[in-house]
Amino acid sequence: MHMVLILALLLQQPPTLTPGASQPLLDRPRLALGISQTGKYLVVAEPDVLEIRDGATLELLKELMGRWTAFGFDERDEHFLVVGPKVRRYLTRDWSLPFEGELESAKFAEMKNAKPDPLEGKFPPLKPGQALVLPDLDFYFVNKTGGISLVGIADGKLEMKAESLSTEEKLQGISGMTAGALFVTARGGGSRISLRGKVYGLVGCNNPILTAAIPGVAVVVGTDGEAIYTPSSWKVFGARSGQTNACATLDAKSGWVFVGDRDGLRGWWVSDFKTEVRILNSKSPVLQVLAASESRALYTLERTSLRRWAISD
C-alpha cells in the first residue's frame, strides 16, 4: 500500500523537460507538427510546404511543395502520404513520388484571408484537418456532401472503401480517431463523435485541437476548453472552459497533457484533471507542441524557433 502511494505521488509530478536540439526559423505561418511512427522524421507544416526534418537533430531533409490538409507515415516510416486535391504517396528512402492521384469526391475548404497569387497560379491554402491518415495509409476525408469517406490505394489507384459516414448536418473536419471512435467537427466548431456509423454530439469541448487516449481515459482539448471522458460510455468525467489554447499534446507514457499558450506550456495529469501546473515559461507563445512518447521527446514550435526536449519521468 505504501509503495502504491509513493508511485501515485511520483506520477503526479510533471515530467522534466531537458533542452536538446534547436533550430532558428524564419517568421512564417506554420500550421502543424507531425512525427513519424518511429520518431525518425518530424514534419513542420507550412500552408503550402511540408518540411521534413530529422527527428533528433531537427535538420531540414526535404521540402515537399503542394496543397495539403492532412499527412501521415506508415508504421515503418517507409511511405509518407499527403492528402489534398491530389493524393501523393512518397517513398522516404529518396522522397520519390511513385503515386499521385486526383481526389475527385472531395471539396476541401480553403483558409480565410489567404489570397491566391494570380501571377504564380497559386490557390489559397487548405484548412488543415479535413482528412485523417491512418497507419496503413488508408485515410478518411470530408466529401462533397459533407459526410466522411474512407479511401485506400490499391493497384495504383484510389479505391473507395465500403465504410462511409453521412449525417444531416454538414461536417467540416476530422480531429482524430481515439479509442475506436472517430472525432469530427460540424460547422461552427461543434464536436461530434461517430460510433457504429452514427454521429452524436460530444458535450464538454468544442473546436478540438487534440483528441487522444490512454487506457480508460479519452482526452479532448479545444481552443477555449478541455475535457476528459470515459470511453466506455463517452460521458464527461471532467471539463473546464475559459482557456486560450493554441495547441496540445498527450504524452501517453506519463499520462500528462501539455497545452501551449501565450506564456509557454502548462500541463495536467489525466488522473488529476483539476490540478494544472506551469511546465515551461516562454518569451513568445508556443504555437505547436508534439509529444513522441516512444522516443521520450517533446517538440515545441514558436514563431522563430523549433526545439526538441527530452522527457524524463
Give the structural domain span for 183. 167-306
Of 10 and 275, the one with more pLDDT = 275
Q: What is the pLDDT of residue 25?
A: 96
Cross-strand partners of 106: 143
Give me the number of domains the chain comprises: 2
Q: Is residue 16 part of a domain?
A: no
**Quick check: is 148 in a domain?**
yes
Confirm whether 311 is domain-assigned.
no
**What is the spatial distance between Cα 191 and Cα 187, in angstroms, rounded to a whole number?**
9
Looking at the structure, do residues 158 and 181 belong to the same domain, yes or no? no
Do residues 160 and 40 share a domain? yes
For residue 236, the model assigns a pLDDT of 92
Residue 21 included in any domain: no
Domain containing residue 152: CATH number: 2.130.10.10
Mean of per-residue pLDDT scores for the chain: 90
pLDDT score of 5: 38
* pLDDT grade for 283, boundaries at 50, 70 and 90: confident
Question: Do 158 and 178 fall into the same domain?
Answer: no
265/257 Cα distance (integer angstroms): 10
* Residue 234, Ramachandran bin (φ over 0: left; ψ between -120 and 50: alpha; else beta): left
In DSSP terms, 184 is beta-bridged to 174, 192
Residue 39 lies in a domain: yes
Same domain, 223 and 262: yes
Clarify whether residues 80 and 181 are in a common domain: no
- Give the model's pLDDT for residue 295: 93
CA distances to 36, 41, 144, 227 from 85, in Å: 23, 24, 12, 33
Q: Does the pLDDT of residue 2 top 50, yes or no? A: no
| Same-domain pairing of 283 and 206 | yes
Tell whether the model's pLDDT for residue 269 goes beyond 60.
yes
pLDDT at 1 (0 to 100): 46
Tell me which amino acid residue 22 is.
S
Asked whether residue 146 falls in the same domain as residue 185, the answer is no
Nearest to 191 by CA among 208, 213, 167: 208
pLDDT score at 166: 79
Phi and psi at residue 2, to the nearest 5°: -60, -40
Q: Please indicate, yes or no, whether residues 153 and 32 belong to a single structural domain of this protein.
A: yes
Residue 3 resides in a domain:
no
State whether 185 and 301 are in the same domain.
Answer: yes
Do 167 and 146 contact (CB within 8 A), yes or no?
Answer: yes
What is the 3 state secondary structure string of the chain?
CHHHHHHHHHHHCCCEEEEEEEEECCCCCCCEEEECCCCCEEEEECCCEEEEEECCCCCEEEEEECCCCEEEECCCCCEEEEECCEEEEEECCCCEEEEEEECCCECCCECCCCCCECCCCECCCECCCCEEECCCCCEEEEECCCCEEEEEEECCEEEEEEEEECCCCCEEEEEEEECCEEEEEECCCCEEEEECCEEEECCCCCCEEEEEEECCEEEEEECCEEEEEECCCCEEEEEEECCCCCEEEEECCCCEEEEEECCEEEEEEHHHCCCCEEEEECCCCCCEEEEECCCCEEEEECCCEEEEEEEEC
In this structure, is residue 201 part of a structural domain? Answer: yes
Cell numbers found for residue 142: 470530408
Position of cell 491566391?
116
End-to-end CA distance of the chain: 22
Residue 121 placed within a domain:
no
The mean pLDDT value for 18-41 works out to: 96
Question: Do 221 and 276 fall within a single domain?
Answer: yes
* Model confidence band, residue 116 (pLDDT cutoffs 50, 70, 90): low
Using one digit for the tens of pLDDT, what is the confidence trace for 55-96? 999 999 999 999 999 999 999 999 999 999 999 999 999 999
Statement to judge: residues 70 and 131 lie in one domain: yes
Given this model, what pLDDT does residue 170 score? 87
The length of the chain, given as a count of residues = 313
Q: Based on the domain organization, do 178 and 93 belong to the same domain?
A: no
Tell me what pLDDT residue 11 has.
Answer: 54
Identify any residues that bridge with 45 across adjacent strands, giving them in sequence order.
32, 50
Residue located via cell numbers 476525408? 141
**Chain segment 176-203, per-residue pLDDT in tens:** 888 778 999 988 778 888 887 788 888 8
For the entire predicted model, the pTM comes to 0.91
